[in-house]
Every structure is written in structure tokens, then in C-alpha cells.
Amino acid sequence: MSLRRRPRLLRPTGRPVSVEISFTKLRVYRECPWKYQLQFVAGWRIPLTPAGSLGLSLHRALECFHRKGSPSEEDLWACYESRWLSAGYVDEKVRESWRGKGKRILERYLADERDRRTVIEAVEREFVYPLGRHEVRGMIDRIDRHPDGKLEVIDYKTSGDGERLAPRDELQLRFYGLGCREALAKEPDLLTLCFVAAGRRVTAPYDPSGEAELKTMIVAAADRIEAAKFPPETSFCPNCDFRKCCAYSVAKD
Ligand code: SF4
């Protein structure tokens, strides 16, 4: 397999960016550095599953829907139709079954949305900021302003029910909260994971006291990526997408 390298990015200062790190890259590196190597250096692809494909379709439909000024229900169905991804399903019957599931998820989302009194300030808002020699990037699904002035950073989750937040979910919220402050110069008050399939929102206040620790974690991971330190972390193998074909896997069966 060929190793494809992107051309090195330059900052406005002319200094090269060492590592571009997103939440997904940070998460994967923390799960298993060797998995990071396979996915982001060697270019191994994770096969698209029905759940993954539907998740992409829902994200795309919601982006389309909320980019319209005052969207109607018809707009939502038009967006779902136009942003639907047909890949990832074994046949038409399975595809239609998942399409129906997505429609039911969006019906409930729309009902919940009617009760919200917030104003949407941004949809799919990218952030980029320098951190040491590195560059941190991300995409916030949605930023809402509440009637009392509070700012809410929202990320859609299309899997899981949100009954109990995994550590990686909490880390993701902190990552986006920090990105909002550092790159967008907006002070987030609330961080929310919206589990659209379960119709549940989990919201926590933003705590800036953890920022220094989070920055240290991001820089440490980026430094190790830059130094090509990719030891396998086999405790993650049972949950790894590459467990069947990775040479170090201890969970091939
Ligand atoms: S199978 Fe195990 S060792 Fe291999 S990439 Fe996945 S977690 Fe890492």
C-alpha cells in the first residue's frame, strides 16, 4: 500500500505546521497509536456500515435543513432526500429499511426542535487554531444562542443512546468547547451531545479550568505522531475496526 503524504501546510508566518490534529485523530491515537498509523498514515479505510452510512445521511440532512432560514417540515424531507447516501447497504431492501429508520429519527428530531427557543448562530462551523508547532481543527455541528444569552455548542451523535457518556464523548465535548473559545472567540456556556437516534440531549456546563490539561494532552499526542511513535495498544483490539487484518491484533476471532 502506498504512503500518501499531504503537502506541508504553512502558517501565515511562513512556519510549517507540524501535525494537523482533529478530535478523530486524537481519539484514534489515544485508542491505539498503531491504529492511527494504519488509518491516517497507511490510508486503511474503515468499511461503511449501514449505521455509519445512515449517520452520514442524517448529518448531511440536518446541515442542509438548518442552513435554510426558517425551514419547514417539507424542507427537512427534501434535504433528507437530496443528502441521502446510498452506499453501505447490501441491497435495496436493507437500504429502504434503514431509510425508514432515518425518517423516524428525523420525525422525532423535528418534534423536539419545535420546543426549542434558541437561535441558531452557526451550522457546521469549522475551527482552526495553532497549538505549539501544531494545528488543531474541528467542525462544530451547531452553535445556538439561548434567550438568556447563553451559548450552546452542539454535536450530533447518530449512534448510542446517551444514557451514560463514554469518556471519549466527554473528551469530544471539551475539545469542541476549547475550539470554540480558541478559534471562534466565542465563550461557550453549554456543551451538548444530541443523540438523535434516541431523542436525548446530554448537556454540561463548559468548564474552562480543564483547558490547560486538554491542551497538554493534544500537544503530547501531536508530538508523538510527529515523532512517528505508533506502538500497538492491544487492549483496544476487541473494539477495533481493523482487528481482523491487523498484524498485532489479539482479537482476530
Ligand atoms: S487490532 Fe489492535 S493493535 Fe491492531 S490497530 Fe486495532 S487496536 Fe491496534
pLDDT tens, 101-145? Answer: 999 999 999 999 888 889 999 999 999 999 999 999 999 999 999
Smallest CA-to-CA distance from 241 within 36, 22, 95 is with 36
**pTM of this structure:** 0.88
Separation between Cα atoms, residue 19 and residue 119, nearest integer Å: 35
Mean pLDDT, the chain, whole residue set: 91
Query: Using an 8 Å Cβ cutoff, are 33 and 233 in contact?
Result: yes
Q: Quick one: fold of 119-212?
A: Lambda Exonuclease; Chain A (3.90.320)
Cβ partners under 8 Å of residue 228, min gap 6: none
Question: Which pLDDT tens digit goes with each residue over 146-165?
Answer: 999 999 999 999 888 878 88
Which sequence spans correspond to the domains of the chain? 39-115, 119-212
Ligand 1 centre and the CA of 235: distance in Å?
A: 8
Q: What is the atom index within ligand 1 of the atom nearest the CA of 37?
A: 5
Pocket test for ligand 1, best of 28, 41, 45, 236 (most atoms within 8 A of CB): 236
Q: What is the atom index within ligand 1 of the atom nearest the CA of 247?
A: 4
Pocket test for ligand 1, best of 39, 230, 241, 242 (most atoms within 8 A of CB): 242
